[in-house]
Structure 1
């Protein structure tokens, strides 16, 4: 039986209930033996020039990812929080991350990488993007109401040639695309940060329903996402 490994990467700023649901669905849909939660290091396409877009310190995002991982109850899946990208001094490129993980898991392991639909339709802007399929399958998580019709022709071609059902991904090691309505993320970390900033202080603010209690406690403890105005 082929070993199935899935990588769920993101800034996780903060890690929220949407991430928990998506991680669980990802693991169950692909019958993953291992689920890798991979906080981003220095996402080169993220804007850093405004307070609203600034990415929190890697140490905080890693801590919140670990707290989130502890909330996942997946008895058939080993959950690993990886620090590969955080420990990398240079900007992180997904193709390098997947190449490194392919070496770790071996040539005969099915390796899948979860990506948001909004990122997927811009895949042709990524560094050496065609090589992603040399290392892993891509699983596309759509936001409710999001359409892949906006994908450029080069991505539409990949969809037509590579789309496969979930069970096929564990039969092959890499190269397929999973478009599955079960993989959907309807909570925005950007909105959560804006909501916390609007409260001016987390000390007496009510916990947002989209955040697990341990992560809300961490945000309050470290006074994250506070307005500088």
Structure 2
């Protein structure tokens, strides 16, 4: 990394259901880590997702698959802090926890995909998200962005063009990021394949596939 040793720490949170975690999730986390020159990326499985129906496997199983998928990958962390909280897994609570740990000067990022970004104005306390962190929107090749009026009002004046501008302050900015691989892998499609007994080879890490088979998940 080219970030100087005395610069504020740069950390990202990448949340999701990870139902199951797949190569697209993991490759995006690796490329996010490299592109933004982060110290680490916390991949945080939601315990009780507030924006979708409950997953068909337990939060503990999803965390274990995430741990297996990450393995020894440098810079990636399987973070189970949302599993310790009751009630809906709001991102603002997770960012509050991370900000408390990292301190006021840390450069904290919440990374999310375009589909989640387009619904941001309906999230719990969306203004507070920008008080706690920067938002980095990972663009997807199959999901063009078209913000509605409420979202445009929320992000007005926040967008920057590169990481240098983003990290000039601890929080409050918005950066759209096109990662090199841009894998359009769908967890929904993976669950359908698993249910039907079709191959998921090369879409999941082999360790995750083995865990799913051993526990007879998604069948």
User: Structure 1 residues 147 and 87 mapped into 2: Cα distance closer, same or farther (>3 Å)?
Assistant: same
Q: How far apart are residue 142 of structure 1 and its match?
A: 2.1
Q: How far apart are residue 140 of structure 1 and its match?
A: 0.7
Write out aligned runs for 1:117-196 (5 A). 117-149=114-146, 151-164=147-160, 165-182=162-179, 184-196=182-194
Q: Is 1:10 the equivalent of 2:16?
A: yes
Distance 2:56 2:16 in 1: 11
Q: For the Cα contact (< 8 Å) 2:121–2:154, is it kept in 1?
A: no
Q: Cα deviations across residues 151-192 of structure 1 (Å, max 9, x unaligned)?
A: 111322444411111232333210011101227441111100
Distance 2:154 2:200 in 1: 42
Q: How far apart are residue 193 of structure 1 and its match?
A: 0.4
Q: How many residues align?
A: 211
Q: Cα deviations across residues 121-149 of structure 1 (Å, max 9, x unaligned)?
A: 11111111111000000111122132222
1:21 counterpart SS class: helix
Q: Which residue of 1 aligns with 2:40?
A: 34
Q: Cα deviations across residues 200-224 of structure 1 (Å, max 9, x unaligned)?
A: xxxxx64432011100000000011
Q: Which residue of 2 aligns with 1:51?
A: none
Q: For the Cα contact (< 8 Å) 1:141–1:185, is it kept in 2?
A: no
Structure 2: stretches of 5+ with no match in the other structure: 1-6
Distance 2:85 2:170 in 1: 26
Q: For the Cα contact (< 8 Å) 1:11–1:55, is it kept in 2?
A: no
Of 163-172 and 5-14, more deviation after overlay is shown by 163-172
User: Following superposition, which runs of at least 4 residues in structure 1 exceed 6 angstroms of deviation?
Assistant: none
Q: Which residue of 1 aligns with 2:63?
A: 62
**RMSD value, Cα:** 1.6
Structure 1: stretches of 5+ with no match in the other structure: 49-53, 200-204
1:144 counterpart SS class: coil
